[in-house]
Amino acid sequence: MSEESQFTTEEQPIVKISIYTPIIYVAVLLTTFIIFSIYYRKRKVQKLANMEPFFPENIQKDMYYELKDEDPKPNDRVLKAALIRMGSEALRRMIKLRESQQYVKVLYQKGSIGDELNENYKIALKIQEVELQSAAVEAESYKQGWGATFFAVCQEVTFNEALRRRIQSIEDRKDWTNKQWLDTVESIEKKVIEAKK
């Protein structure tokens, strides 16, 4: 046998593929991706809807929008005061979130908190940023340029309320301590009187 006859190749039959085969393949692939995307988004939205909020409901924000939507519109001073309360509450929440940001990051990196709590924290941060921006827009709608001083006023209100809460807690603690002291003194007096008998 010669070398040429050893390397003879058998002719393979030619398989004809319909032009519709790749089109059907692409259509099935796209349909699968679309269905997966819809399912994934619905699941993500449902997860976000079922997620427990980081803060309780913002009563100041609700009160401001209720006052704004009232039919006999209240005085602008009332609306501005309600807006300042709304802004100070949003600022207080943002300060709380910023204070705990470093701790959340460290706890998440160590694995002490899960993905759900970390995502909840990030969402709360974004919500507070949006609330601060909407408060600034509302402030600008009352008076052009008020947005610059608006947050300074809100910060002052926030710090004054924090100081008031601390003073009140000190007063409450003082009252509790005085009551405990009086109860202790009365019980000692009773024991002394009983001992003398």
pLDDT digits (tens, 9 = 90+) for 12-69: 777 788 888 889 999 999 999 999 999 999 988 888 777 777 788 889 998 999 988 8
pLDDT at position 6: 55
pLDDT above 70 for 3 = no
pTM over 0.75: no
Q: How many Å apart are CA 195 and CA 151, to the nearest integer?
A: 65
Question: Contact 88/58 with Cβ under 8 angstroms?
Answer: no
Torsion of Cα atoms, 72 then 76 then 81 then 86, to 10°: 70
Tokens of 82: 């309600």
* Whole-number Å distance between alpha carbons of 138 and 73: 16
Mean pLDDT confidence for 112-134: 89
74: DSSP letter: P
Residue 195 predicted with pLDDT over 60: yes
How many of the other CB atoms lie within 10 Å of CB of 138? Answer: 21
Between helices 146-196 and 76-110, what is the axis angle to 10°?
70
**Separation CA 130–CA 83 (nearest Å):** 15
pLDDT of residue 118: 87
**% of the chain at pLDDT higher than 90:** 40
* Percent of residues, the chain, with pLDDT higher than 70: 95
Q: Which of 56, 128, 57, 119 is nearest to 92 (CA)?
A: 128
